Amino acid sequence: MIEIKNISKTYSGQVKAVNQLSLTVEAGEIIGFIGPNGAGKTTTLKMMTGILNPDEGEILLNGINIQSSPLKAKQQFGFVPDTPDMFLRLKGIEYLNFMADIYDVDENTRRERITKYAEAFQMTSALNDKILSYSHGMRQKIVVMGVLIHSPSIWILDEPLTGLDPQSAFALKEMMREHVALGKTVFFSTHVLEVAEKLCSKVAIINKGALLYFGSLEQLKLDHPNASLEDIFLKVTQNA
């Protein structure tokens, strides 16, 4: 469960990247976070994960405030950032094991999960190479695996599907579905409306830092009859 209460963020006193944003995500929901470039998606996700401090408002993850008890809150989620170019000189396996140590995953569980996810993402033979030698999509996959390995109850993903091949994208989407079926939460940003349509129970549309719509896509379509998803999206974000 994610509760975002009235958060705002202004960069260096000038750009108001997020403006009084509030939304509540119940357990068992997949939320697609959509909006044009520069809308404030990454900024919101960074505040949720403790990377940025909101100027006002508060964020609770499973009821724990990220500002006042950061360590406990950070144990609730796994985060996939928008740039997967991290720890390039570690081997894939070393990165995964490092994450497992940070999140205190026991030996048998981590082995099981590494084997399972490496197969799902076709990464088994790459694990022993340095991340530096990976393609963009492979880097994306290893970072996703670094989250999956500690099986957090909340997934926060910044454009996790960009760069993945169809097979891996399918695998990840399946995993998201399985995850929420267990009563857990997924919150991810995306530019692909079809993904949001097929996968998400609700979408949050943001532009210029303000939340324009939060609810199911069906409802949105009912509100705008006879329009394609793309048209609706363009209309909603334009009216802001």
Ligand X SMILES: Nc1ncnc2c1ncn2[C@@H]1O[C@H](COP(=O)(O)OP(=O)(O)OP(=O)(O)O)[C@@H](O)[C@H]1O
Q: Which stretch binds another protein (CB under 8 A): 21-29, 94-102, 174-182, 215-223?
A: 94-102
The residues in 17-76 that bind ligand X, with binding defined as CB under 6 A, are 17, 35, 37-43
The nearest distance, CB 2 to another protein, in angstroms, is: 15
* Long-range contacts formed by 167-173: CB under 8 A, 24+ apart: 167/122, 168/121, 168/122, 168/137, 168/141, 171/120, 171/121, 172/144, 173/198, 173/199
Instruction: Please state whether 92 falls in left (phi above 0), alpha (psi between -120 and 50) or beta.
Output: alpha
The nearest distance, CB 115 to Mg ion, in angstroms, is: 32
The whole-angstrom separation of Cα 44 and Cα 51 is: 10
C-beta separation of 78 from 150 below 8 A? yes
DSSP-assigned beta bridge partners for residue 204: 33, 214
The nearest distance, CB 156 to ligand X, in angstroms, is: 13
The whole-angstrom separation of Cα 52 and Cα 76 is: 17
Burial 14-32 (b: 16+ CB within 10 A, else e): eebbbbebebebeeebbbb
The nearest distance, CB 189 to ligand X, in angstroms, is: 7
Q: Which of 42, 76, 140, 185 binds Mg ion (CB under 5 A)?
A: 42
The nearest distance, CB 93 to another protein, in angstroms, is: 5
The nearest distance, CB 77 to another protein, in angstroms, is: 8
The residues in 172-191 that bind another protein, with binding defined as CB under 8 A, are none
Residue placing its CB nearer to ligand X in the complex, 48 or 138 = 48
- Taking the CB of residue 238, how many other CB atoms lie within 10 A of it? 9
The whole-angstrom separation of Cα 70 and Cα 191 is: 29
Residue placing its CB nearer to ligand X in the complex, 39 or 126 = 39
| Total residues in contact with another protein, by rule CB under 8 A | 46
Contact residues toward another protein (CB under 8 A) are 11-12, 14, 46, 49-53, 71-72, 74-75, 79, 81, 83, 85-87, 89-91, 93-94, 96-98, 100-104, 106-107, 110-111, 114, 124-130, 132-133
Contact residues toward ligand X (CB under 6 A) are 11-12, 15, 17, 35, 37-43
